[in-house]
Amino acid sequence: MEDNKIDELKNAMGSANLSQEQLQEQLKQKIQKASKTRALFEKGSAKRATLNSFKHIKKSENNKILLVLLSITAILIFIAIYIFNKETKKEEPVYTKETKNRLSFKELYDSKNYATYNCYEFKSGKISFPIKECKEEMDKFLLDNRNANRFEIVPLISENDSIIYKSIENDIKNQEEALNKKVKEYLFIGLATERILESVWYIKKILGEDTIVTSSQYYVKSENENEQGVIIRAYH
């Protein structure tokens, strides 16, 4: 049986004419060669594994570096945006309750929405409100605009109102012309002021004392000598 196995081994190795010692030597050489080949293969595999591991580590490190750089870039962009917004942002004014009330009043005061009533029936040089001529229309105007934010009075002066000046003209005729003009102007201003006060009284009489009534800082000179009085505006 053992001889048969040896013969089979010789045939497998193609060495049928070799002796048993030669066969053992050849078999030993083949085993050594196979061992060397395996050792080289294992060494190469270890080297490849080490190289792959190194590549993986290097790739991982590169990813970490890239992530850090992206994070730093994002932080720098955020800081730049914050600084830009801080420099360009306008400071909002701080309003107190009193300031807000003043602003609200100013907005109401500067309103361009108003209704107008004209009473041109004042007597020349007189300040009394012409009840007979203006009362009916005036009362209707006031009641229709009772919810107005304020009323404004603009006095209207005509040349016929110079009747007061004419009463003293002879007394100052020897004065300089510039002085005469100033006296006449001051008389017109005084007459306009008195007509404003008279109108304020009448408006508050109809609508109540809490009604807001203002006056212009000027008077209007009438183009018609027979028209003098007041212009009343109801602002909404």
Q: How many residues does the chain have?
A: 236
In which residue ranges of the chain is pLDDT below 70?
Answer: 1-28, 30-32, 34-63, 66, 78, 80, 82, 84-103, 105
Q: What is the pLDDT of residue 130?
A: 87
Residues 182, 120, single domain; the answer is yes
229: left (phi over 0), alpha (psi -120 to 50) or beta: left
Residues 72, 122 within the same domain? no
Number of domains the chain contains: 2
* 14: containing domain: 2-85
Q: Do 224 and 118 belong together in one domain? A: yes
pLDDT score recorded for residue 169: 82
CA 40/CA 52 separation, integer angstroms: 18
Euclidean distance between CA atoms 18 and 205, whole angstroms? 149
Residue 105 falls within a domain, yes or no? no
If you ran DSSP here, which 8-state letter would residue 94 be given? P
Q: Are residues 51 and 126 in the same domain?
A: no
Query: What is the pTM assigned to this prediction?
Result: 0.54
Q: Mind listing the pLDDT tens digit for each residue in 130-183? A: 888 898 999 999 999 999 999 999 999 999 998 888 888 888 878 888 888 898
Which sign does the torsion angle of CA 116, 121, 122, 125 carry? Answer: positive
